[in-house]
Structure 1
Amino acid sequence: LDSNYNYLQKAAFPDTPAQLVTSSFILPNCRLLFSCEQGLYTARYEGGKIVVEKKTNVFDHINLYTIYQDAHDVIWASSQHGIYRYDPATFKLNLFDYSDNVQGYGFNGNSWFRDKQGTLYFGGVNGINYWNPDTFAPPSDSLQVYISQASLGNEDSMVYTFENQYSLPYSDRSMEVEFAVAYFNNPEKVTYRYQLENFDKDWKYLGNNNVVRFTSLPPGKYALKVQASLNRVNWIDAKNTFSFHIKSPYLTTWWFISLLVVAAGTTIWLIVRNRNKKIQEQQEELETEQAINYFAASIYETNSVKAILWDVAKNCIGRLHFEDCVIYLLDHERKVLIQRAAHGPKSPVSYQIKEPMEIPLGKGITGAVAATGRAELIPDTTKEPRYIVDDERRYSEIAVPIISNGRVLGVIDCEHSKKGFFTQKHLSILTTIASLCANKIVKAKAEAERAKAEAILMDTQQKMADVEMQALRAQMNPHFIFNCLNSINRYIVKSDQATASLYLTRFAKLIRLILDNSNSKSVTLSNELEALRLYIEMESIRFEKKFSYKITMGEGVQPDSIYVPPLIIQPYVENAIWHGLLHKESAGHLDIHISRRTQSLLECVIEDNGVGRAKAKELKSKSASTKKSLGMKLTEDRLALLNKQIQTEGSVEVNDLMANDGEAAGTKVILKIPIDG
């Protein structure tokens, strides 16, 4: 587009088809920095065409919501993982996530702001993160990854050096390998992944888990490679590699094969069948390990109790092939189990339980598990009198307690239509899952309590500010009424009944307005101006028409739909009359003009052609009066409280007006009033 937003031409991506742009940032010299599905690009208009170039490859396949390039050419970007910092000069990429106090993974597109002090703000659905790029010191983190030890075989032989290749018999090939990173700044940021050469095609992500287990690998030569990362983009290889060889079982040796050739066809068939069955069992064991690793990573990345429970219920069916899974939480006060999450027939719609039920503590299989804290496996529910039918009868059931520090939090209850479906393997897996779930629930509840306490504190501070504002308004109204009564008293003393009657009539209207507005934080601008006109007319009568006045409003000011604090303008009008126009020998004039500067700010200019502040101060010093401008002081305090309470920029500015000969020509007050709502 050109400067008038007229269409010029369409940009073409280099070597790739057109892509969806997710965020953009305007660079100096009419250049554009933008992100899309394939990474980060720059665009410029050169030689009559748009030139698009790849900026860097580090953001490939990362969905960026907001991008910003600071004065040092450092790129800041928000994503589903957190906030990235990329320095093109050093090619270094940093990721800051929840462990660095970054809000939950939900940023808004192109949602950034930088204030005058240089602070940069990124906004998301869970709040705002801010920092100053000019003073930000990137962490000088470097990872030293190494495989620390391995436990081999059923006898747990420990290995600490990995220069040589280790051989394991097929019958004793289980192992547990542990790796470590000497990183103490923020250990939770370190994530791991591994790849077993000759077995895994892709890298396996482990999250923060630094242990991997293998119990049923087929025969062959393997090399375990490990990597660690702080940002899930740049992965650092371990200094060492664990190479090992699992020997073939005797069933596959040449001499045994020769023996099989001699054996009868029936023997061959039996042996092959047994071997295939064994391999299938080994594969099932491997799938079980992968399922547990998946549950560990999935639960770790979930932050709320509700999300944890629903994720576990869903994956019990999806990963373990159960038919029905319901998770109960124990209400310790009522002593009942309440269904909180489910998957399968009990949850036809996501995050909704069909006809949820409660089970008293100790009743049924689930209630008994919660009461005793011991898991139960029921192969045939038709023989179990404690079985409680929920949505439909099923013929096998397994229930495992969720326990933390010896206290039962709930129960994971799973059912299947096939008798004897659940095994000890299922019991072991669910026990591990329940332990992971309990630890995460305790942590999530602690986070929720902390957030609740912070919300209560913020609400208390807001209420305190409201009380302070009401106290200032309570001081303002009696002060104004006292001044009016003082003027009425002068007419009564003079026995000017006609003027006193007219003054009292207008004073009564003014008192009614003040009483109506006394309990309101804000009033319409039209209501405020009506009270102001009544006051000015009363003072004009009092000073025997010594001055005239005019109130005007700029375009876009709709007094019936704009709300302002009550009696916010009057103290400055009173000051202009009493200290400026009152001492003027010739006719005075008061001009009030109201305009709207922003959506949240109203500007009121009060200008008089009185004697000026210097002359008024001189006259006051010669007078016996000790009257102080309490109204203006209260109004300044009210504006200060409003600025603090609703983050506005209300202010007061007083200027002296001078004539061409250098003599005082009056006073000009610029009052910036916050608009309520």
Structure 2
Amino acid sequence: MRCLIGMYFLLWIGLQAKAQQVETIFIPASNTFIHEPYLRFDSFVIENEVIKKAYSKEMRLQDHQGYLWFVADNQSLIRYDGHYAKTYDSTRFYGIQMINKTVWSLTDSGVAIFDTTTETFASYPTPLVKNYVYWGAASDSVSKLYILFPSNSDNVRSPFFEFDIQKKKFRHIQLSHLLNGYTQKYEPDSLLILCKPLTVDTKGRVWGQISYGSDTDHGRSAFGYYDPHSNIAVWYPLYGAYNPEIKNKNPNAPQEMSISNVYIDNRYIWVGGWYYLGLLRFDIQTLRWKQYHFSELVANQVFYIRTFQQNKFILYSNNGIKVFDKFRETLHEYPHIPDNQFSPPTNSNSIFSGDRNTIWIGKHNAIGDAEVFYLSPENQVFRTFPQAMKKERLRVFCQYKTQLFFTYQNPRGFVLAAYDEQSGKVSELFRQPYGETPEQYFHMAMPDTINQVIWFVGKVEGGSIRQWDLRRKQMINVQAPIQDSKLRTDQLYNVMSLTQDKEGNIWIPVTQTTLTTEGSLIKYDSRIKQYRHIKSIENLINKQRLRSVMADSRGTIWLGSWDDNLIRWFNPKTEQLSIKNAINRKATESNIPINKMIEDTRRGVIWIAATKHGLWKYTMNTNQWQQIPLSNVDFVFNLQLAHDGILWIKSDNGLVRYSPDTGTFKQFGAEYDLKIYDYGMLIKGNNDELFFDRFRFYPQEIRDNASKPKPIFSFIKVFDQELALSQNINTIPEITLRYNQNFFTVGFSVLSYIQHQKNQYMYRLDNFNKNWITCGNNPSATFTNVPPGEYTLYIKGANSEGIWSDIRSLKITITPPYWQTWWFRGLIAVFIFGILYLLYRYRIAQQTLKSRLAAEEALNKQREAEYQQRIAQTEIAALRAQMNPHFIFNCLNSIQYYVANNDLDAASDYLTKFSRLIRLVLENSRSEKVTLSNELETLRFYIEMEAMRFGKKLNYEIRIDEDIEPDILQIPPLLIQPFVENAVWHGLMHKPQGGTVSIAIKQPQAETLQILITDDGIGRKKAVEFKSKSATNRKSFGLKVTTERIELINGLYQTNTKVQMIDLTDAQGQASGTQVIVEIPI
């Protein structure tokens, strides 16, 4: 039994020793492919000046939220969202990594953990470390960081640590035992066992570079791991690896390993390193090594390993980006190509894997701004052709089984060749020298399984119809007679297309022959193997050249012209031709070719490429023609219909994918490295594969970036100064601004970086904007003079595919000034109410006092008014009493005059009238007012008595307007008589021939009575002269008394009786009398 165990032990030792040997695979230059397969490196446009100027060191991380992190020259960190950058420069940061959605870094103060809520770093130091510039770091998927710090005098001996993210604590790992993974024996104990952590597997083992030494021995390094559960380090020394700089090496001595990167891939661990270590593959199960030595790599150094596509790794070395195909064991180099925006940069200085396996590559120029590129697996759907096919002016015409038939040109002519995709070999089928016609080429090729040939048609001297015989493997120049024609097939000089109907017949439209430029239609009958000219349609073709042909499912042959925008239908059974001019009716130009027609049997339509007239659709059931609008597409050259019903269009600026069901389309132009290389090449091969110029692709592999982008808020600025927030703007429930902070700008973005310059943004501030506002690719919203209130800012963004994000909102409250707050208004209201109440009470008191004083004053005024009234009445009575004697004295003077002249009859008559006048005067003097009729009666008696004195020298008249009622209207008594007396005595008495006194009574207004007293006497001026010369010096008391009475009446009754005297003149300006106007309110 012991012997059996010993044999097994010896056998196991032998196997382990064998397992230590390295299998070296040399990858020569012949097995290194340049830019093959095609990879598209997209330039990441950085428009932020902070990153442009600060970034030069590393682009290190895309975190779980989608932000990109940069390490700047000054060891600060910059976080970038595609538009806006935020800088963290409070300390020096040594790199940036992420563990379980937690971003962390190492600083001068320890491990810095990023808090996504406050957006700040919190540092956690350990007293055992002074120098935090780490040599290696790795993290598991939960909470543990493993860090190797520099082994120098600043730090503790064996500075290998574990840091718990959750507990925020360091644990110093001291390794005293090292296990040989091959022999399962421990190496001699040492106090200098270090682990440079580079990755952690699913079991929690920390893989990296294990260093083993002593104080006197510098030590050795090998690949291995640290097991936290057992606190043991295990290593696997490397024996027999290829290194041309090590000569006379001892095969039994392990080689020094300087490891830069470790990547775990199921049962294999891939290791990259410096100094000819190259790329190593370690089999965890068999413990065997395989070394890949790349002759194209400087010192065979590999710094970075990441999976990219199936069976492929991205390798980063000191001379650029490489792709390693681990299945084929081939290396693919992608050097920078000048003036090609889709080639990788030179001298890149950082690389990392981001979201969706996107590889990010950073570079900083010695002079100028930073450059960033990304390699997205989702964008690698366009493939180029193998290196053997990359010829001058390559054109692929058809794919038949495993062969691609293509042409290329050289200085002597063009060549038709076939590329076998299984063997990778190119076979030359046909060579055509240019001869007298330099431009010769094929237009189209079509496999024909019925006739077992591949048809080639074009513009070729000696015969434009050629066949590749699939059975005999030879090229045939078709030189056959054509029935109903004088020409042979080799005299059809320019043929641009052909088609095969459901019966197997070949239809060939002719653009030009060696004899004429007129078009014609040729049919090849596959059954009888004959060509025939369709002569019956010659007149209807009308000498037009034919460009394209198609046989639909009904058997109709469609013919597209070159010259007249027309489509012609030919019925093979009736041989009748009909012309369809729907396109021509809308055409603005003639001589526009109909390039291609293709039937969509599932939808029952025909799609038409009408070059400058765009894309057209004909619906068979409804017989309708429709032009399909495609924005930014001026020309449609070619069409292909995929199995999924999607139409692929070759346009003037690239490739267009059109979905007939939704009416949507997407352009693939220069931003996808697609350019127009050939006028019409777009063919469909096996399994729906499409060939477009220098590219080939499967339509089903082109998937849009359909995932909704994530919208985020970036900042809020008030008057262009960023507002300091207590936490992340995306987690804060509400932002409150003061009333004087109502000029603010909010920046936002979507974390979608694929062609992010095409991203679109919209925003709306609820309660401020009614509609969404489009801001293009400038995601910021600026608001001015926003009144106090509560608002909600809504944002959304679309990625480069036009997929819109969900709406994100941010509540913004602008507080009013204190004088507009409810509490202030309440206090003001209470204050005003109190003031008003006090004013009210004061007003009531004042009103009470005022009322009492007013009552007393009113009583006093009443008493005073009564007193004044009695005084006025007494004065008026006195004036009347004064006036009555004056009037009586005048009358007595007249009686005296008659008695002196012994005129007793006149005296008697005068006394009779005088007595009647005195009775009226006495009666009226007792009353304050008398009727107008009574006053006029008194006036008549007076005037008649004066007339008796003057004889015929005094005339008078009294006129009353018809609408005046004298028996009703009342006026003060004896108001008119004094003015009449004054007119008689002072106006007429001094006029030798006498005169007339006219009294007119009018009512110009309802409340005014107007009395006009007019005389034609000598006037007031001469009356004054006569009065001054008069010896009697007669006084006129009546006019003076009347004036005083009017003033008293106005004051007593609050009236406005007016008296106006007017001097009258004749035409020569001489005085001709006086007019007195008395206006009495009634």
TM-score range, shorter chain: 0.3 to 0.5
TM-score w.r.t. the length of structure 1 is 0.35
Larger radius of gyration: 2
Indicate the structure with greater strand content. Answer: 2
Higher share of residues assigned helix: 1
State the TM-score, normalized to the length of structure 2: 0.23
